[in-house]
Amino acid sequence: MAWLFLKVLLVGVSFLGCLYPLVDFCFSGETRAPKPNFVIILADDMGWGDLGANWAETKDTANLDQMAAEGMRFVDFHAAASTCSPSRAALLTGRLGLRNGVTHNFAVTSVGGLPLNETTLAEVLKQAGYVTGMIGKWHLGHHSSYHPNFRGFDYYFGIPYSHDMGCTDSPGYNLPPCPACPRGEGPSRSPDRDCYTDVALPLYENLRIVEQPVNLSGLAHRYAEKATQFIQRASASGRPFLLYVGLAHMHVPLTRTQLSADPQGRAPYAAGLREMDGLVGQIKDGADRTAKGNTFLWFTVIVFRRAGGSL
């Protein structure tokens, strides 16, 4: 009896980005390989040089650099769009914005979202018996049937749109700085700020708002915790799973988590890179502990900048 074992580790780059799968395929005439799990991690607004795998001077992405060294890098792998909603719509439908109807970002005031006649990857895999989860930034419609739970995802934990589209408990760094939510009575909009401040940014778990305004400084930790829990529970169920993680990193405002003062302004960005890299590492470790032999882990990014290093 002849057996063929193929181990694949992928790190993909969409202008900048990383995809890391670890899958053992077993092919034979008598045994059918189990359905693979999929973990898709999408980062926001990174530059080519933000990964040490691409720019030797960058020292803040140890986990992603290791994935790149062990896996496969796609250095000419292009995102479908350079903005939030269109890129996410294309990722989940496999269709460009001119075909799926999403060519611009959805706003806080948008009542629609990804057209309901579009089929998402989550819906396809759910029909194939997969457990499906989404952690992080959605930005494809937050009202009614446009919510992730109605677009193929069994579980959702995250924010409905970008975290500069509403005031928060911990605004973080931005240029100009995004203001905190107002306390008490008084006008909420500041004309010299670039953030929406009329609405406090909510944090959802499925259809329920669990925090509003969201505390950005603890959000990465909560994402890692929820992603790990989802992987564990899905693996325990015996069913294959899809986990889609839409990171807030490196979109502004950058959080103030463990940041040190730096007169040149580089420390907040470097700290954000380290936080994002640690979050990806925790998700990878969670997948390795429970489903290492049968999981594709893909890290990719919407590239906003070509510049290397820190802002």
Long-range contacts of 147-155 (CB under 8 A, 24+ apart): 147/207, 149/206, 149/207, 151/92, 151/114, 151/120, 151/122, 151/123, 152/120, 152/121, 152/122, 152/123, 152/124, 152/125, 152/126, 153/122, 153/244, 154/126, 155/206, 155/230
Residue pair 200/171 in contact by the 8 Å Cβ criterion = no
Kindly state the tokens that stand for 232. 């564990």
Q: Which pTM does this prediction carry?
A: 0.86
Give the catalytic positions in this structure.
84, 139
Reported as a pLDDT band with limits 50, 70 and 90, residue 252 is: confident
Reported as a pLDDT band with limits 50, 70 and 90, residue 212 is: very high
User: Looking at domain 6-182+189-308, what is its CATH homologous superfamily?
Assistant: Alkaline Phosphatase, subunit A (3.40.720.10)
Residue pair 210/226 in contact by the 8 Å Cβ criterion = no
pLDDT of 309 higher than 80? no
Please tell me the distance from the alpha carbon of residue 120 to that of residue 13, in angstroms, as a whole number: 22
The continuous run of DSSP H or E covering 39 comes out as strand 37-49
Domain locations in the chain as residue ranges = 6-182+189-308
Nearest partner of 248 among 112, 157, 114, judged by Cα: 157
pLDDT digits (tens, 9 = 90+) for 161-207: 999 898 888 888 877 677 788 876 555 555 555 577 778 999 999 99
Please tell me the distance from the alpha carbon of residue 195 to that of residue 3, in angstroms, as a whole number: 57
Note the pLDDT of residue 306.
44
The continuous run of DSSP H or E covering 220 comes out as helix 219-236
Reported as a pLDDT band with limits 50, 70 and 90, residue 267 is: confident
